[in-house]
Every structure is written in C-alpha cells, then in structure tokens.
Structure 1
C-alpha cells in the first residue's frame, strides 16, 4: 500500500465533518492520515475533540488581521505538519488567492447543496423555497471563487413533507459524513488509479486537432482521425504491470538515450519498443502533466498531416 497521504483539516466550529474524516482515518486501509486540525476560532469545540484523539492542533483568531497575513500563518502551520492535502470541514472564512493557489488541486471542501445549485449559505432553506425534490451535499476542489471548483462527488437527500431547514440540514449532514471521507480517500489515491490516469490522458490527447480515441490491440489508443496512432495507454500490456503512456520517438537512439538518462520515468515497452516507441510512466507518484502534454504533442506531430502541423505552428507563434 502506498504511503498514507497527510491531511490538514480546517474548521471553525463543532467539526462534525472533521470528526468523520478523523475516525475514517483510523481504519488500517484508509489511504490518508490526519496530521493537523487548525482553526480561525480558538474556542471551536472541534479542537477539543482533536486534542482528545491526539491530533495536533493550531488555532488563532483572525479578527483584526489582514486576510493574506492570517493565511500565511495558518499556511505555515500546515507546512510545519508536512501536510500534502487540506480539507475544509466547516471552515467559515474566505481564503486569500495566494493560499488557494498554493493548494490548487490539493484542497477539498464539503458544501451542503447539489452544486452548482445554492452556493453560499442557507442552502437547505433555499432548496425548500424552490420546491426541490432533493437537497444534498457536494465535495469539490477549492478555487478562488466560492463553491465554484470542480465537483468530485455528490449525494442526493430527499426532501420529505413537513421538512424544515433544520430537519433537512440534519439529514444532509449525515450524508456529508459519509461522502467526505470516501471522496477524500479516492482523491488522494487517484495517481494510483488507472481509470483516473486514463481520463486525464484522454483530456490532453483529445485536445489536439482532429484526434480520436480508439482501442488498439486491447489497449486504449489515440490517433489522428482516419490516420495513425500517436499514443497508447498501457496497463498490464503484454504482462507489464506498469501504467504508462506509450509515445513515438525519432527512433531507437532517442528511446535508448531517454531510458539511460531517466530509467524511473522511461522504459522500453514490449512489442512497441522495437518500433521506437517509449513508455512514459504514470504510476510512480503525481504525474508530470507538462511532460505528458509535451510528449503527446510531439508524438502527434510525427503522424499528423502537414496541414495540421502548419496550423499548430501558426497558433504557437501567437
């Protein structure tokens, strides 16, 4: 099992979602551990629970402080805890753009609505006022815009006759406690999930002009429409357990030079290696997506019609 991800949780109040994350982390097979609970409210009840469970805590009031200055201090506490991810669990304070940028794609929030519906506060009352059949909760990535990041998972909660904002909110909270730990666990292990890696590679490959996804010899592949393949997603290909992107090089010399210089990243793939293709590993940690994009573009150029590469060259000049 890969090393557990280190997670810092930010709270402002009772910390029920923090508790859900904390107790889920006690399972031996949970892929994350809670290394810090921090708050902008020194009197937050959730801090006492974290202390009782021997989780390090940090707290300081934000009152009278510049937003960026406060975020620098809480950010330093997170860094000191060597956290790799941040979970917002009822953290009722807007974050500075600098803090959000530092934790891009590594900071998750739980929100009590089915986003993009009802961003902000009073979500259950707004769902009732709208006559919705369901309320719910969402886990999303945090961006500079409030409750606007990519939604990673949702749970619907039925609205029943006689519901008030309070009764509905209690059931939504039950759903939150189930959804947040499960989604966080899936997110911190995504780099080891072939399906997620393939979905990301597909986005980059299909962003190139006139390309399509089509399997080749049982593996997902990408080619110019009605043309040749320029990339193949390799998982258990010819018995190779590595998860990799196979791309075209200029030939054996370039392939061998790459492997010799960086054997942790590159390898000679079975069958395709004889034709000068190289394997770029995706399963050794967080992939270098700039490298993946560069290789996809280079490999695509090797097979794309000249009319397309000329258009690409013209676009690159701008």
Structure 2
C-alpha cells in the first residue's frame, strides 16, 4: 500500500470537522493521516482533542501580528510537521496570496453552501431567504478568490418549513462531517490513482492539434497526424514492462539527454525498459510534487518532434521544454 498522505488541519474553534477528519483517518483503508492540528487561537477546544489523540498541535494567536507574518508561521509549522496538504476546518482567517500560492493545489476548505451559491458568510440565512429547497456543504480547493476554487464534493441538505439559519446550520454540520473525510480521501488518492492520472494526461494530449488516441501494446498512446499515417508522441505506462511507476513516456533529444535527466532527477524520470533504447523517457506521474505544467510541456515538446511541419506551425511556440 502506498504511503499515506500527510495532512495538517487548521482550526479556530471547536474543531468538529477536524475531529471528523481525524477519526476517519484511523479507519482501515484511509489514504491520509493527520500530522498536525494548528490554530490561530491557543484556546481552541479542538487543540485539546487533537492532543488527547496523540496528534502534534501548534497554536499562534494572530492578534497583534502582521497577516503575512502569521501566515508564514502557520505555513512553517505545517512544513515542519511534514504536511503535504492543508485542510482548513473552521479556520476563520483569510489567507494571503503568498500562502495560497505556496500550497496551491494542496489547500482544501469546507464551506456551508452549495457553491457557487452563497460564497462568504451568512450562507444559511441567504439560502432560506432565497426560497431554496436545499442548503448544503461543499469541499473545494482554495484559490485567491473567495470560495471560488474547484469543487471536490458536495452534500445537499433539505430546508424544512420554518427553518431558522441555526436549524439549518445544525443539520448541515452533520453533512459536513460525512463529506469532508470522503472528499479529502478521494482527493489525496488522485496522486496514486492511475485512472485519474490517465484522464489528466489524455486531456492534455488531445488538446494538441491533429491528435488522436490509439492503443499500443496494451497501453493508451497518442499520435499526431492522420488515422493511418499518424506518429506516436506519447504513451501512458501503468507499471508496464516491469516498471514500478505510473508514467508518461515521451521523446527526448537523444540518449545523452535521457541519461542525464535520469541521473540528475531519478525521482522524476526513468529509462523505460521497452522504449528507452529509442530515446523515450519515463516521466513519473505518481509522485509527490508533480507539476502538470511540466507534463504539458513534455507532451508539447514530444508532439513537435514528430508532427508534420504544417501541423506544428498551427501551434504557437511556448516556453516549455
């Protein structure tokens, strides 16, 4: 079984969603572990709960501190704990752009509405006043725009006749406790899930001009050109031919470049057993810190290496590999 993803949870108060994440992480088959619970209020009740379960805690009041300095201290605590992801669970601080950029793609939040409806505060009252049939909760990635990141999961909660905002909030909280662990589990598993990785590669490859997919030796491959005359520029390797990795196989400039890359960055590249002798390199996909912009650049570079000149000219030059 792959190593569990390491998650820091940021809280400001009771930490009920943190507790839901923590106890779910102890179930058989959990894909993540909680390595830190951090709060901007040293009196947060959730800190005591986490400590009682043996989880490392960190507290630093934001009062009297510059926002950027407080963000930096919280981020440093997460890094020191070895966190790969941060889950905001009732963390009542708006995070600065530098923090969000540092943890981009690894920073999750839970919001008490069915986004994109009702970002921000007073979500339950706004849903009731709008006459909605349902409220609910959403788990989303955090971006620089408030509550606007990719939605990873949602649960709907019926609004009953005569509901107050507090009535609805109490029921939505139950939903949050079910939703957040499931959404986090699913998201951190993506890095090891061959199906998800293939879908991302397929999307990037087929976005290139005159590209189509065709299976080769039992693996998906992508060709540029006509259906009969097209040439392969990429293959998807799901631990084929003795490889221990899920990888993208693309063309390099030759054996010297291939060997130099493998020697310098063995965590990112390998020489494929079946294709390596022809100068194809394996770009490891199931690894920590994968940069999808880099994957896209490799696909474009490999595509250009075999695309007919007339086709290659249809794609503007980029700054990729």
Regarding TM over 0.5, the answer is: yes
Distance 1:81-1:253 versus aligned 2 partners, 3 A rule: closer
2:304 aligns with: 301
Matched, 1:279 2:318: no
SS in structure 1 of the partner of residue 13 of structure 2 = coil
SS in structure 1 of the partner of residue 171 of structure 2 = helix
1:253-272 to 2 correspondences below 5 Å: 265-270=269-274, 272=275
Matched, 1:148 2:153: no
Deviation at 1:11, TM superposition (A): 0.8
Matched, 1:189 2:193: no
| Cα offsets for 1:259-302 (capped at 9, x unmatched) | 677666223343x5576544333234443435423321121012
Matched, 1:310 2:291: no
1:180 aligns with: 180
Any gaps of 5 or more consecutive residues in structure 2? none
Q: Which moved more, 1:123-132 or 1:280-289?
A: 280-289
- Residues 259 and 268 of structure 1 are in contact (CA less than 8 Å); yes or no, is this contact kept in structure 2? no
**C-alpha RMSD of matched pairs (Å):** 2.8
1:17 aligns with: 17
Matched, 1:49 2:53: no
| Cα offsets for 1:129-186 (capped at 9, x unmatched) | 2222222211111111111111111122233333332222222111111111122122
Distance 1:48-1:278 versus aligned 2 partners, 3 A rule: closer
CA distance in 2 between counterparts of 1:234 and 1:136 reads: 40
1:37-186 to 2 correspondences below 5 Å: 37-186=37-186
CA distance in 2 between counterparts of 1:291 and 1:65 reads: 37
Distance 1:313-1:77 versus aligned 2 partners, 3 A rule: closer
Distance 1:239-1:94 versus aligned 2 partners, 3 A rule: same
CA distance in 1 between counterparts of 2:76 and 2:255 reads: 48
- Residues 223 and 230 of structure 1 are in contact (CA less than 8 Å); yes or no, is this contact kept in structure 2? yes
- Residues 239 and 247 of structure 2 are in contact (CA less than 8 Å); yes or no, is this contact kept in structure 1? no
CA distance in 1 between counterparts of 2:319 and 2:281 reads: 25
SS in structure 1 of the partner of residue 64 of structure 2 = coil
Any gaps of 5 or more consecutive residues in structure 1? none
- Residues 247 and 279 of structure 1 are in contact (CA less than 8 Å); yes or no, is this contact kept in structure 2? yes
CA distance in 2 between counterparts of 1:90 and 1:213 reads: 44
- Residues 209 and 314 of structure 2 are in contact (CA less than 8 Å); yes or no, is this contact kept in structure 1? no
- Relative to the length of structure 2, the TM-score reads 0.86
CA distance in 2 between counterparts of 1:81 and 1:315 reads: 38
- Residues 192 and 285 of structure 1 are in contact (CA less than 8 Å); yes or no, is this contact kept in structure 2? no
Deviation at 1:40, TM superposition (A): 1.5
Q: Which moved more, 1:11-20 or 1:32-41?
A: 32-41
Deviation at 1:201, TM superposition (A): 1.4
| Cα offsets for 1:234-258 (capped at 9, x unmatched) | 2254676642212234567766676
| Cα offsets for 1:54-97 (capped at 9, x unmatched) | 32222232223221122122223223322221110001111111
- Relative to the length of structure 1, the TM-score reads 0.87
